[in-house]
Amino acid sequence: MRETKYWTWHMAAGVVILFLLGLHMLIMHVGGITHLFVPYGGEAVSKSNSLFRDGKLFFTVTYILFLGVALYHGLYGLRTILFELTLKPAAEKAITFVFLVVGLGLFGLGTWAAVVTHAIAIAGARG
């Protein structure tokens, strides 16, 4: 049943990614129409607009969540592809372990970046 657990979370992560990607598209790619979270006008990727969003706790949490679900969904998908190559059980265990370490490492790095950016944005807003 362990694989059922992994699969269920893989599917759930896919749904969350779909929702977060929709949010990303609304803000970053059709911002000229929606004007969502673009308080300073112009490009959504401009420094002032980016710092505005980075200073919001909602976005920091969203970045970390997005990173987590994307890493899990992607690495589980890659693991599935590799498992279909008829590997030996020891190789399957090694792949699972490596992906777990790589995933946690990247998640830690990304979380650290999001938190630091949040702190910089808040410090910048305070002057």
Q: Say whether residue 5 binds another protein (CB under 8 A).
A: yes
Q: Say whether residue 90 binds another protein (CB under 8 A).
A: no
Which C-beta is closer to another protein: that of 7 or that of 112? Answer: 7
Interface with another protein in residues 6-35 (CB under 8 A):
7-8, 11
Q: Say whether residue 86 binds another protein (CB under 8 A).
A: yes
Tokens of 36: 């969502």
| Three-state SS at 98 | helix
The CA dihedral of 88, 89, 90, 95, to the nearest 10 degrees, is 90
Interface with another protein in residues 92-121 (CB under 8 A):
92
- For residue 70, which phi and psi values (nearest 5 degrees)? -70, -40
Cβ–Cβ contacts within 10 Å for residue 96, how many?
A: 16
Interface with another protein in residues 56-85 (CB under 8 A):
80, 83-85
CB of 82 to another protein, least distance (A): 10
Q: Say whether residue 39 binds another protein (CB under 8 A).
A: no
Q: Which has the closest alpha carbon to 25: 64, 66, 61, 56?
A: 66
Q: What's the rounded Cα separation, in Å, for the pair 117 and 60?
A: 9
- CB distance 44 to 28 below 8 Å: yes
CB of 34 to another protein, least distance (A): 35
Residues in the interface with another protein (CB under 8 A) total 14
Question: Which residues make up the interface to another protein (CB under 8 A)?
Answer: 1-5, 7-8, 11, 80, 83-86, 92
